[in-house]
Every structure is written in structure tokens, then in C-alpha cells.
Chains A and B, each alone.
Chain A
Amino acid sequence: MSIASQSATVLDQQAGRQTAQSQSRPFYWSVRRELWEHRSIYMAPLIVAGLVLFGFLIRIAHLPEVVRKAEHASPIEQTLKIAAPFGIGTFAIVGVALIVGFFYCLGALYNERRDRSILFWKSLPVSNITTVLSKTFVPLVILPVTVFSVAIVTQLIMLGMGSAALSANGMSPATLWTHWPMLRMALILAYLLVVVVLWYAPICGWLLLVSSWAKSKAILWAVLPALGLCLAEKIAFDTSRLFSLVDYRLNGWMSEALYYRKGMDVSDQLAMLTPAHFFSSPGLWAGLVVAAALLAGAIWFRRNREPI
């Protein structure tokens, strides 16, 4: 091949590469493909929302009575009584999303090796980094955004249904809106979702790492080592430092991101949020560093592991 034709080929290749990059969107399609495979990401929150709305529909019959009775109670008790279904409903939606996220992460890099479809995915021009990051994006971004949307829409429907029921009984729907201040509650939910996502990122990273590495029984590998080490420490040194570490990772976000003191005026819920404290807590940043390291490990295993 002459030098001229060689450089022409190189130029062709470069041109082809540039157009190729603008046309193909590996990350976007990798995420789409995750959502095709794991419909539970949005189906589970939607089903729970449906159940919550169904329960609320039955409760509506008693709503005027509940509101009437609560009129004589203290403001806190009033809020607790009237806002309870909203809080419980939202909690249920978030709870199911956590469970879905847990199992999603455990299967994300394990199932493709088990059913050998990894050979198909790897036969396509998508890097291991893109693959693992798209599988991290789902629980850390798609799932919380879904939860937020579903929870807010559910709350709005509940407020609508409740308002209609109160109006029909000649009562003011405003009671409902003062005890569940929608905008403020949306802000709190968004804050808590961001907190939980960032705080649990290393757990997500750990589950993905186990998922990329385990040859069987990923769930046992994910849970038992931590449990075993805590137990061993207890027996060997009669201390429980590891246990406190695990406990801090599971529950620490509450003390870092929220503030409550007895006798505090709880009507101003926003005062209970401590974003400045949360975002400056070493626990958060240490966790994110660990998460990054675990993800790097998962990428390494995605590259090296073979079908099982």
C-alpha cells in the first residue's frame, strides 16, 4: 500500500470515527436496556403507590370524622393524625425502592455472566466502564428520580381525593394542605433522597462488586462477610467497632442529615434539615471515596470475569 493511500485510509477511518461518535450513544442505550430488563425499577414503586391510593380511598370514608376529632387535639397530634397516610405511603414507596435497588445491584453484573449473555454484550462496542457506570446510574439516579415522581404524584392524588371528600362534607380542604404542606414536603423528600443515595453509594458499590465477582450465591457473599467479621471481632476482642461502622453506614445519615431535639417546634420541618452538616461530614466523603474504589473494582472484574 502506498503512503498516499495509507494516509487516505487513516483519514477515512478518522472521519468514520467522528461520525460514529456523534451517532452512537452507548451510555443512553445501556441505561435503556437496563430498564427493559428490570421493569421492577418503576413497576414496584407504581404498584405500591397503587396500593397506597387504594388504602386511602377506603380511609376517605372516615376522613371527615378524623379531621373533626383532631380539631380538639394539640397541633402536633393533629398533624400526626391527618398526615399519617401521606407519610406512611411515601415511606412505603421509598422502602420498596430500596429493596428493588438492593436486588438490582446484586444481579446487575452477576446475571449476565450466569446466562452467558455477557458474551453478547461484550461483542458490541461498549466499554466495561460505560457498562458498569450505566448499571450504577440506575439505582443512584433513575430509581430515586422515579421514587420522587411517583411519591409526589401519589401525594397530589391523595390531597385531591381528600379535598374532594372534605368539601363534599361541607368542610374546608385547607386543613389537609396545612398539615401536609406539599411544596415543603416535596423539598424534604428530594433532600432525603439525595442524602440516602449519597450515603448508600458505597453499599451500592459493594453490591455491584460482589455481583461482578461472585461465582454463585451473590446475596450470601454480599451480607455474610460483614456479619462474620463483626462476630469474629466480638469474640476475639470483645469489641464491636466493625458493628458500629456497619451501623453507621446503615443509619448514620439520619444523625448527619437531620436534627431533632425534644421540645423543638416541629411545625417548621425545614428547620430539622441540616444540609450544611451533612455535606461537610467526613462519613459522607469517606463513603464516596470507598464507593469509587468499589466501582473501580467492579469494572476490573467486569473485564476479567468469564461466564459462569
Chain B
Amino acid sequence: MACIEAHGLRKTFGTTVALDGVDLKIEEGRILGLIGPNGAGKSTLLNAALGLIPFQGDLKVLGQDPWTARDHLMRDVCFIADVAVLPRWMRVWQALDYVAGIHPRFDRAKAEAFLARTQIKRTSKVRELSKGMVTQLHLALVMAIDAKLLVLDEPTLGLDLLYRKQFYDTLLNDYFDHSRTIVVTTHQVEEIQQILTDMMFINHGRIVLNCSMEDFETRYTELNVRPENVAGARALGPINERQVLGRSIMLFDRADREKLASFGEVRTPSIADLFVAMMTEKTGQGAAA
């Protein structure tokens, strides 16, 4: 069974189309990066999958309709939205008691063990914790839940580099195994590139690219063109060209690497570069097509 499956998923807010017929299938055991500019529909897609908003079309998460079965679905799904959603009045021990009381799959000892590695005091209120600590607390709660799907919507927004790194390291080392699925959105794409198994670009409510990291690495090539070869390289039809320190860097989709290597240095692009290339690209040139 696919973890998340959508067919013709649409969502409009008034006259604004947030999701414009999305089809997708996310298999179990993947770590998917959902990447797109602000207002592209990322959060709308996640909110629909989490049962927070109604939608049109077909959407199943773990085989259930998230809108009609949210409370049931949430036994198997965990969710961290952009940092500050833990209630500010709550004390740390209250958060532990509460989640332990209502969540059948919560392992309190695990959460306590994780908190013991942080500076967080049991008696502190959330409002007294730093932003980084609130995220640690939320992560401690979520990691102690034996869920099948973890959704992270900008989980590290506003955190400093140390916390961000620790966040993803913990997630990967202590949480992820191949029966779980993680869907994450972030603007700090370069930081998660290493941990992803799949990536998905979304823009204007549509999925513009959906591929595994292996595919990404074989499909896209970045060429640092030697000045004398610029015209020749351009003839091969790069999907993007930019200037760095006076040299042309071109991005190719499904190009012959051997051939490109004769024009300059070849390497795998970063997701960020591909993202910028595809988002600034003229409409209708559909690189994903």
C-alpha cells in the first residue's frame, strides 16, 4: 500500500487555485523532500494529507481519507509544523503526560531519554524555552510515537545551524527505519539533500518534478563550461545557464555525460541549483515533461 496516494487533487481558496490536479504516489519507507517556492501549494498539500482542510479529488493516506478519518489517522501519522505550534502555556511534564494519556503508540521512556540529552527542564513552560529547545521538545514527543508517516513542514525554520543539523541527524539516526515514511518541506534544501531518497518540485499547485535521488543523479548534469566551448555546449540545449565568476555553468537534462565532459567539468547539480533553474525557467518549457 502506498503511504500517500492522490489523484486529481484540487484545492481552491476563493479564486486562488492552491492545488491544481495533483497526482502522486509516495511509497512506504521513503524520505521525500517537497520543494517549491512560497505559495506553491506545499503546505496546502500537506494540510490536505493531514486532514486539516477539505479538498476535491482523491487522496488517501495510509489507505484512509484524511478529511473524514483525521483522528483515527493521527495514530499513525505525526506532524511538526513550522516550529512554534506547541502551546506556550504548557509545561514540559504536561506535554509528556498529555501525549502519553491520549496517544496509544507513545513510548514515554523514549521521549524522556531524548529529553535527558537536552537542556530542557521538566518544569519549564514552552514559552520559557528557546526556539531550538521547543523544536527539540516537539521532536522528542514525535520520535517517541511509533508512527508510519512523519510530516515535517518547515520544521527547522528560524533555527540556527547547530539545531538544524542536530534535528536531521537525530531524525535519521534515531527515528528513520525503512518501514517509516518521512515527508519534509524546507527552504534549506541543500541541508537535506543528503538524507532524501526522493524529491518533488511543486509550483503553482502542480507537481513539476517527481523523481528518486538516484534518478536525479543520473538524469541531471551540471557542466562548468570552458570559455572556448560555450557555443558548442549551448547547442546541446541546456535547461539553464548561469554565470559564476565569469564562467558559464549549464544544467542539462538527460544529456550524455561523456560528451559533456569534453566541454568542461561535469558534476551532479545540487537540488537548489536545479530548483532555481526550473523555477526561473520560462513557462511552457516543461523540463519535467
Please report the number of residue pairs spanning A and B whose Cβ atoms sit closer than 8 angstroms: 87
Q: Count B-side interface residues using an 8 Å CB cutoff.
A: 35
Which size bracket describes the interface of A in this complex?
A: 20 to 34
- Within B95-111, the residues touching A (CB, 8 Å) are 97-99, 101-105
Distance (whole angstroms) from the CB of A58 to the closest CB of chain B:
36
For A129, give the chain B residue with the smallest CB separation.
B71
Cβ contact within 8 Å between A119 and B71: no
Q: In the docked arrangement, what's the CA distance between A122 and B97, Å?
A: 17
The CA of A306 and the CA of B81, in the complex, are separated in Å by 13
- Greatest chain A CB density within 10 A among B87, B89, B105, B138 is at B87
| Residue in A115, A124, A130 whose beta carbon sits within 8 Å of that of B74 in the complex | A124
Question: A29 interface residue, CB < 8 Å from B?
Answer: yes
User: Min CB distance, B140 to chain A, in Å?
Assistant: 14
> Is B55 located at the chain interface by the 8 A CB criterion?
no
Contacts A116-B85, A117-B87 given; indicate if A24 touches B104 (C-beta within 8 A): yes
B103 and A24 contact, CB distance less than 8 A: yes
Take A119-B52, A120-B87, A122-B52 as given contacts and tell me if A20 and B101 are in contact as well, using a CB distance cutoff of 8 Å.
no
Nearest CB of A to B89, in Å: 5
A116-B43 Cα distance, complex, nearest whole Å: 14
Least Cβ–Cβ distance between A253 and chain B, in angstroms: 34
Instruction: Please tell me if A33 contacts chain B, counting CB pairs below 8 Å.
Output: yes
B101 near A127 with CB under 8 A, answer: no
5 sample A-B contacts, Cβ–Cβ < 8 Å, listed by A number: A24-B104, A26-B102, A28-B101, A115-B88, A116-B85
* Given A24-B104, A36-B89, A124-B102, 14 additional A-B pairs, CB 8 A: A19-B104, A24-B103, A30-B102, A32-B101, A36-B90, A116-B85, A117-B85, A123-B50, A125-B103, A125-B104, A126-B102, A127-B70, A130-B71, A306-B47
- A: residues with CB less than 8 A from B are 16, 19-21, 23-26, 28-30, 32-33, 36-37, 112, 115-117, 119-120, 122-128, 130, 304, 306
